[in-house]
A and B are shown apart, each in its own frame.
Chain A
Amino acid sequence: MQTGICRPVASRLGAAGITASLLAAALISTTLTSPPARAETAQEKGLAIAVEAERRDSGWGDSRAAMLMVLKNRQGDESVREVRVRSLEVEGDGDKSLSIFDQPRDVKGTAFLSFSHATRPDDQWLYLPALKRVKRISSRNKSGPFMGSEFAYEDISSQEVEKYRYKHLRDEQLDGRDVFVVERYPEYENSGYTRQVAWIDAERYIPLKVDFYDRKDSLLKTLSYSDYRQYLDRYWRADSMLMVNHQNGKSTRLDWSDYQFGTGLQERDFDKNALKRLR
C-alpha cells in the first residue's frame, strides 16, 4: 500500500534517487560549500535540512487557524478573503486540510477538502453550499492562482519532503539571523516553477524567505515570512506571509490568527460528509 510508506522511509527512498541521478553534479558542487567532517554533498545537506525541518514540525496532531487574505493589485486596490483552516497530521502520509470560506460573502460556506500525498496526486473535494453539492475535483492544478491571489495551489499545499529535490547553496545571514540557503526543485508534475530558493533559519529550521523562479527560470515571486510565534513550546507558525509577484506588480498577504493545537479534530472531521455539516 502506498499509504503505508512511513515518512522516514519515503525520505530515504527519495535520497537514494537523488544520489543516483545527481552524482556527477554533487561531485562538482561539494567543494563550494563549507566542508563538513564527512564529505557531505550539497544535495545531501539540502535534503538533511528539509528532513530536519520536517522532523521538528511533526507531532502537532491537529490545528485550527483563521486566515485573512489581502489581495493588492498594481494600483494598490485591496480585496479581502477570510478563510478558516483546519489541519490534521496523518501518520505516514500527507496531511489532511479543510478550508472554509467566510469572505467574499457570495462564496460563504464554500469548503475545500484536501488529502495531500507524498508520492501520488492529492485527493481534493469542493463543497458548493448553494447546490449542497460535493464535487471531487482534479488536483492537477498546481500553478494556477488560489482564489485569485498570488499564491498558487502548489504554494498552499502541504510541503512534504518528497515533493522536491534539494541542494544546499550556502550559509549566510538574513536580517541578523544565520540561515541556510537551499535550492529546491519540484519533483511533482505541472509545477509552475523550475526552482525555488529558500532561506531557512539555521537555529529554528523554519523558512524566512522563498524566491520562486518561473518555467523560463526568471524570478517570479518572493514569499516573506514574518512574526513567527511558537506554539506548544515547539511548533513555529508565521503570523504573516507576504507574496510579492515581481512580474505583474500584485501582492497577497496572509495574516494568520487564532492558532489552536490539539483541538480534538479527527479523521471524521475531514471527510465528504463533514463538508456538508460545516457552516
Chain B
Amino acid sequence: MGETRLARLLAGLLMALSASHAAQAAGEWHGELAIEARHFSDPPPHSADWSDGASLALDLEYYERIGDRHSLVVSPFVRLDQRDQQRSHADLREAFWHYYADEFELRAGIGQVFWGVTESRHLVDVINQTDFVESSDGEDKLGQPMLQLILPTDIGNLELFWLPYFRERTFAGVDGRPRPALPVAVDEPVYQSGRGPRHWDFAARYSHSFGIWDLGLSQFTGTARAPRLVPTFDAASASLKLVPHYDLVSRSGIDLQATIDAWLWKLEAVHQRAALRQDHSEAVAGVEYTFFDMRGSGADLGLIVEYLYDQRGADADQPFQDDLMLGLRLALNDVQSSQALFGVIADLDGGGHSLALEASRRLGDDFTLDFEMRASENVDPAEDPQLAPFSHTDFARLQLSWYF
C-alpha cells in the first residue's frame, strides 16, 4: 500500500518535471540530497528489533517567476528508508502559484506556513500536518492544500485560509523506530466529520510588528492536526493497535515576542474547544538571552528558558503539562557556520526528562554534516502517561547533505 502510493507520487513528480521541461520553463532548480545513519541504543518494547538504520532523502525546489506578478514554486520530497516502509515516503512539500497584486496577495496550491515564536513547542502553528516519520521534534511538515489570501494594511497583515483537504499525520510503521509500544493504524483513521479528509477547514491570522513587539492572533476551525491515539482491538491479528481519531476543533491562538536588547521574551497560548475533547488552554512562555561575540571571539551563546503548561494536567493528550525547558544555543559564526543546540525538558511533577542535542557544520562549499541525539530518562508512566509509550527511543543520528 505504502509502496504503490510512493510509486504513484514519484510517477506524478516525474511527469510534472518533464512537462515543465517541455514547456522550456525559465525557472531554476536546486536541491539537497542527504544520507542518514541512525543508531538506537535500547532494545525496543515491540517488534522493530533493530538498532542501526540507513536512509536517503531528496529535497528539490523549482522556482519560476512569470512576469512581475506571478510565480510558481514546486518542491517535491522523497525518502527511502532501509528499515521502515512508512518512513519511505514522498510528499509535495510545496506546489503553488502565487499572485502579487497592489492590494493583496493570493497563493493557491500546496503550501507550508509557520506561525509562532517559542522554541520548545509550536502551539499556534496549526496549518500544516507534522511529518512525524521525518523527525520526532515535529519540525518537518507535510504540504497542505490551501487557498491563502494576504491583505496587507498599515496596522498589520490579515491572512485568510481555505484548507479544503486534510493530511493525516505520518507515524513509524511496525518495523519503524521510534514508535509507540503499540503500532499506529495509519490506514484506518477515524474522522469526526462525515466528509472525512474533505472537510473544509478555515483559518485566519492577524500579525503586526510595532516597535519592540511582534504580535500574532490566529483562529482555526476544522480537523485537529494532532490525532487522539485510541487503543483498539484488532480482530485480524488479535492484538491491540492505536487508531488515530481526527476530531473537529476550534482553536484560538496568540503569539507575542518582545525584543529588548539581547532579551527575547516569548509567549504562545491557545484555547481549544471541541465536541469530542475536553475544552482547555495550553501555553508556552519563556525568554532567550544571548551573549554576543563572547570575549571578542565572534561566537554567540544563547540561554533559553521556557515553561510549558497544559490546563488538563495528567489528562492531557501530550506530555508537556507542567514542564520546564532549558536550552543552550552556541553559534561559532565561523566560515563553516558551526552551531549547536542543547535542550532538556523536565517534568516538574514526575521527574521524567528528555534531552536533545543538535549540531551542524558546513564542509567545503556544498556539504553539511548534522548530528542529532535524543534521550529520555526516568519517565514515570503514572505522571507522564503520554511520554511512556515513547520511552526506549534514545537514538543518535548523523546526516551528510549535498546541496546543488
Contacts and interface: CB of A to CB of B under 8 A. Distances in A.
B262 interface: yes
Contact of B296 (A80, A106, A192): A192
B290 interface: yes
Contacts of B214: 136, 272
Contacts, number: 102
A190 B30 contact: no
Interface stretch (A5-13, A30-38, A92-100, A140-148): A140-148
Nearest to B338: A148
A106 B261 contact: no
Interface string B157-196: 1000000000000000000000000000000000000000
Interface in B231-288: 257, 259, 261-264
A105 to B, nearest CB: 4
From A137, A138, A140, A142, name the one whose CB has the most chain B CB atoms within 10 angstroms.
A138
A145 B331 CA distance: 11
B139 interface: yes
A246 interface: no
A182 to B, nearest CB: 25
B261 A105 contact: no
Interface in A78-122: 79-80, 103-108, 121
B225 to A, nearest CB: 15
Given A138-B264, A192-B296, A273-B157, A132 B114 contact: yes
Interface stretch (B1-9, B50-58, B81-89, B362-370): B362-370
A141 B292 contact: yes
A131 B73 contact: no
A136 B209 contact: yes
A273 B335 contact: no
Given A106-B362, A277-B105, A279-B73, A123 B209 contact: yes
B293 A79 contact: no
Given A105-B366, A108-B30, A140-B262, A145 B298 contact: yes
A271 interface: yes
Interface in A122-177: 123, 125, 131-138, 140-145, 148
Interface residues of A, number: 38
A138 B152 contact: no
B354 interface: no
B259 A138 contact: yes
B337 to A, nearest CB: 6
A107 B105 contact: no
B309 interface: no
A144 B296 CA distance: 8
B305 to A, nearest CB: 16
From B63, B112, B296, name the one whose CB has the most chain A CB atoms within 10 angstroms.
B296
A73 interface: yes
Contacts of A137: 259, 264
Nearest to B288: A138
B311 interface: no
A279 B63 contact: yes
Nearest to B365: A104
A134 B336 CA distance: 23
Interface residues of B, number: 45
A119 B139 CA distance: 38
B47 interface: no
A106 B403 contact: yes
Interface string B53-81: 00000000001010000010100000000
Contacts of A148: 333-337
B98 interface: yes
Given A132-B112, A148-B333, A143 B362 contact: no
Nearest to B112: A132
Contact of B152 (A141, A145, A268): A268
Contacts of A56: none
A272 B112 CA distance: 16
Contact of B292 (A107, A121, A123, A190): A190
A123 B32 CA distance: 32
Interface string A4-42: 000000000000000000000000000000000000000
A273 B298 contact: no
Contacts of A73: 335
A71 B337 CA distance: 13
A190 B261 CA distance: 11
Interface in B100-154: 100, 105, 112-114, 116-117, 139, 150, 152
Contact of A104 (B65, B152, B333, B362): B362
Nearest to A2: B211
B201 to A, nearest CB: 18
Nearest to B367: A106
A123 B214 CA distance: 11
B300 interface: yes
Contacts of B63: 279
Contacts of A134: 114
B318 interface: no
B31 to A, nearest CB: 9
A106 B63 CA distance: 16
Interface string B360-381: 0010011010000000000000
A131 B368 CA distance: 17
Given A137-B264, A138-B290, 14 more contacts: A79-B365, A105-B30, A106-B403, A131-B139, A134-B114, A136-B264, A138-B262, A138-B264, A141-B290, A144-B293, A148-B333, A190-B292, A192-B296, A272-B214
Interface of A: 71, 73, 79-80, 103-108, 121, 123, 125, 131-138, 140-145, 148, 190, 192, 214-215, 268, 271-273, 277, 279
5 closest A-B pairs (Cβ-Cβ)?
A105-B403, A141-B292, A144-B293, A148-B335, A132-B114
9 contacts: A71-B335, A105-B365, A136-B257, A136-B264, A144-B333, A145-B333, A148-B333, A148-B336, A277-B98
